Amino acid sequence: MQLVKSTIFDKTQMKFSDCKIYIAAFIIFLMTTPYAGRSQDNSPYSRYGLGDIVPPTNISNRAMGGIAAGYSDPLSINFSNPSTYALFQSAKEETSRKLAWGRAILDVGVNFESRSLIEQNVADKFVAKNALFSYLQVGLPIRRNLGVSFGLRPITRISYKISKTGMLYDPNTQLPIDSALTEFTGDGGAYLPTIGVGYKIFKNLSVGINGGYLFGEKDYSTKRTFLNDSVAYERSNNETKTSFGNLFFNVGMQYYANLGNRITLTIGAYGNWEQRLRANRNFIAETFVRDAVQGDIRLDSVYEQKNIRGEIIYPSSLGVGFTLGRPSAGKERGWQFGMDLVQAKWSNYRYYGAKDSVQNKWELRVGAQLWPVLTSSGRSYWKYVSYRAGFFMGPDYIKVQEKLPQYGITLGMGLPLSYTRQNPNQATMINITAEYIKRGNNSNLLKENLFRLSIGFALSDLWFIKRKYD
């Protein structure tokens, strides 16, 4: 299914050179890539499980509440459902001289986030702002009904730093020992490079699979400084650092049906089975001194244990849903509406055989889109823009004492850019999505408000072009 053809890029649109588009995408990628392995966030809830879950969908999908099961777009890559890779060449595209049947796509995205942490009965709130790499994906048509895609994206993110001052007590006698400053810090996350294939088995049925290597680390540290004017204590650090990784697979399918009057129904599903990650853990207890220039410097190792082998159980997940839509025709806008229900069995998550403060997760996602017109006698650029909106709701997979409710609203646009006459077959879409997400309520110790602005560059070119006239 292809609801919108790339022929919408006509002379009424804004003109940008190839160089400017590619340079802009490359610079943004270079600027944000360092943050992919070194988050600047501060989310205490990322202490649990494998951390905060990074948005698992393309920026176009996020603008529609995150729907992905029945969604496909010829100018972006739906890596959540690999069956859509079969549609990179689902429609013929004509120019005055040539005929082509496939599009190669480069899709790169970045996130700009502002997170507010709100504690009950505390007037002040903590705000952290970040620029983070979202994903880099390439899609290639191999032959009719067969496409591949490969790329890299983060899966989870761990980043927090909490300070606490208070009295320490003897665990046996419960007598006070001394006052101390305790610092809890965490860093790390999980990342997934993948390569996938999608194949159209029948006229209306496509299937696909992604294979990759899920890897990452969890680095947790507790540092303590005694606050005493008469007795000198050394500062202490207890740190656990775990690295993990293994092969990872997820699958997807889509079925298309024409309902008449140009309305198309697409039903889809995607997910992964439970997978076991090999893990290696190091633990150290040490004393240190704090230097204003060099930071924390080890004095002595009190206890150290390295290369503790174990495993992490990553839970299974399943998403099912549909989209209902009518393609654009001439000056008439098309439309699309979709809904997904996604669930993940995080109660099966294990870290070296131990449970964590996590629970099964479900999420309802709803979204809609207005496609652009294909032709227009006017010169309004905004007639060629896609408009998207949606929402999602459901409990977070992290559960500390009480459930952690989460919901969000999303808005977005797809801004088409045309190229110079020297490259008439190239097309670029800038996808912009704004999300406002609330996590937690007055029953939780801490609430989070997150505003995320995501920008994606989808650059494509026709492949397998043959001339109509020799």
- What is residue 425's predicted lDDT score, i.e. its pLDDT? 57
Assigned token pair, 456: 């994606």
pLDDT at 326: 92
3-state secondary structure of 83: helix
pLDDT at position 231 is 66
Q: Would residue 329 count as lying in a domain?
A: yes
Averaged pLDDT for residues 225-230: 74
pLDDT of 36 higher than 50: no
Higher pLDDT, 119 or 389: 389
Taking the CB of residue 171, how many other CB atoms lie within 10 A of it?
A: 7
- Give the pLDDT score at 18: 47
pLDDT digits (tens, 9 = 90+) for 234-268: 888 999 999 999 999 999 999 999 998 889 999 99
Is residue 461 one of the residues assigned to a domain? yes
Q: Confirm if 195 and 210 have CB atoms less than 8 A apart.
A: yes
Predicted pLDDT at 90: 47
Quote the number of domains for the chain.
Answer: 1
Give me the chain's average pLDDT, please. Answer: 83
| Structure tokens given for 391 | 């929402």
The pLDDT of residue 377: 62
pLDDT at 118: 86
CA 356 – CA 353 distance, rounded (Å): 10
Instruction: Give the torsion sign (CA, 75, 78, 84, 86).
Output: positive
Q: Which of 405, 447, 470, 433 has the alpha carbon at shortest distance from 57?
A: 433
Decide: 164 and 45 in contact? Cβ < 8 Å.
Answer: no
pLDDT in tens, 129-168: 888 889 999 999 888 889 999 999 999 999 998 888 888 7
Mean pLDDT of 288-312: 87
| Confidence at residue 12, expressed as pLDDT on a 0 to 100 scale | 36
Q: Which residues span the domain enclosing 242? A: 6-467
Characterize 328-343 residue by residue with b for buried, 16 or more Cβ atoms within 10 angstroms of its Cβ, and e for exposed: beeeebbbbbbbbebb
Total residues found in the chain within this entry? 470
Catalogue the E-assigned strands of 97-234.
98-100, 102-119, 125-143, 146-169, 176-202, 205-226
Q: Greater confidence, 41 or 33?
A: 41
Percent of the chain with pLDDT over 90: 54
38-52, 68-82, 239-253: the lowest-pLDDT one: 38-52
The CA distance from 75 to 103, in Å, is: 8
Cα dihedral across residues 342, 348, 354, 359: positive or negative: positive
pLDDT for the residue 408: 96
What's the Rg (C-alpha) of the chain?
Answer: 25
More confident residue, 89 or 383: 383
CATH number at residue 408: 2.40.160
- The whole-angstrom separation of Cα 312 and Cα 280 is 10
Given this model, what pLDDT does residue 163 score?
Answer: 85
Please say whether the beta carbons of 74 and 6 come within 8 A: yes
Residues in a beta bridge with 22: none
Q: What pLDDT was estimated at residue 104? A: 84
Neighbours of 460 (CB within 10 A): 23
- Does residue 1 lie within any of the structural domains? no
Identify the residue with better confidence: 402 or 347.
Answer: 347
